[in-house]
Amino acid sequence: MVFALCGGDARQSGLARLLLEDGHGVRSWALERAELPGGVRACGTAAEALEGADCLLLPMPVSAKGGLLNAPLSEGTHCLGEVFAAVRPGQRAAGGLVSPEARAVAEGCGVRILDYGRREELLAANAVATAEGALGVLLTETDWALWRNRALVTGWGRVAKALAPRLAALGMEVTVAARSPGDRAWAEAWGFRSADTERLSEAMRGCRVVVNTVPALLLTASRLAELEQDALVLDLASAPGGTDFEAARAFGLRALAAPGLPGKWAPLTAAEAVKNAVYNILEV
């Protein structure tokens, strides 16, 4: 097959290499600043990249603000319509975490876009990569050992399930805060303490590390006030996150937003996860 990679971040470089190793042809566009492997044909326009290609392969997420292609490694900005207008009949298109707006633009150009970003095999791999990236941030940003300190993880989704046992393996006393009684019961079954998100302030007292995985405002000013001055708050949720960062600054707390860790800390693993999900969705 011939894949046209349009836009994206460092994951696209790894993805291009993996596709080439599997014997596929690879073209690129809107990736001028990417370190692409030899064998990739860099194109000047979306139309050139897609000419004769079997599949348009878009990044995860597909779109940036304002209906633009997510292309942080491009020299310019590009409208999604510019990409979808270049797709020809018979060509397939796939992207990660396709927004309703991006899907509408695609459909307006007569393009049916497949979403590999919600495939469970990719989500599982990304959860592990996110957890490892979170550990990297915590180890880098603290000047004390995680061992024998208390950590609070908010949420009990894929990332929390990957992160909590890794924190415990480093010797941390881990509490999982979740809204659902069932999730709290499962967290306890896994060997962690649990807390109700409605009573989060109590759970935060004495914690040196708080990791939020919930894309809703949980870490409010009143709750952040319960933390010690040297505590570290790490927010892994999608923008705008779940932390009142202004309040954290006012309290003198270190609060870091760290979305998209797989692409930053483990781009090759993230690229392999994308490749596998794309192969499965295209039945390659």
- pLDDT tens across 154-169, in order? 999 999 999 999 999 9
Same domain for 139 and 196? yes
- H or E element in which residue 265 lies: helix 261-265
Arithmetic mean of pLDDT over the chain: 96
Question: For residue 6, which of 66, 67, 73, 52 has the smallest C-alpha distance?
Answer: 73
Helices 267-282/120-141 angle, 10° precision = 170
Structure tokens at 246: 């202004």
pLDDT at 223: 97
Looking at the 3D structure of the chain, how many domains does it have? 2
**Domain CATH code at residue 49:** 3.40.50.720
pLDDT at 39: 97
Same domain for 150 and 256? yes
Banded pLDDT at 176 (limits 50, 70, 90): very high
Same domain for 135 and 259? yes
Same domain for 66 and 135? no
Q: What is the pLDDT of residues 67-82, one digit of tens each?
A: 899 999 999 999 999 9
Collapsed DSSP state (helix, strand, coil) of residue 42: strand
Same domain for 140 and 20? no
Is 274 inside any structural domain?
A: no
Same domain for 22 and 127? no
> Does residue 148 register a pLDDT over 90?
yes
pLDDT at 67: 86
Is 208 inside any structural domain?
A: yes
Give the predicted TM-score (pTM) of the model: 0.89
Structural domain ending residue among the three candidates 98, 118, 138: 118
> Does residue 242 register a pLDDT over 90?
yes
End-to-end Cα distance, the chain: 9
Structure tokens at 139: 């180890």
- Label the pairing between strands 173-178 and 193-196: parallel
Same domain for 113 and 167? no
Same domain for 129 and 251? yes
Same domain for 252 and 183? yes
pLDDT at 233: 98
Question: For residue 58, which of 23, 20, 31 has the smallest C-alpha distance?
Answer: 31
> Does residue 239 register a pLDDT over 90?
no
Query: Which residue range forms the structural domain that includes residue 27?
Result: 2-118
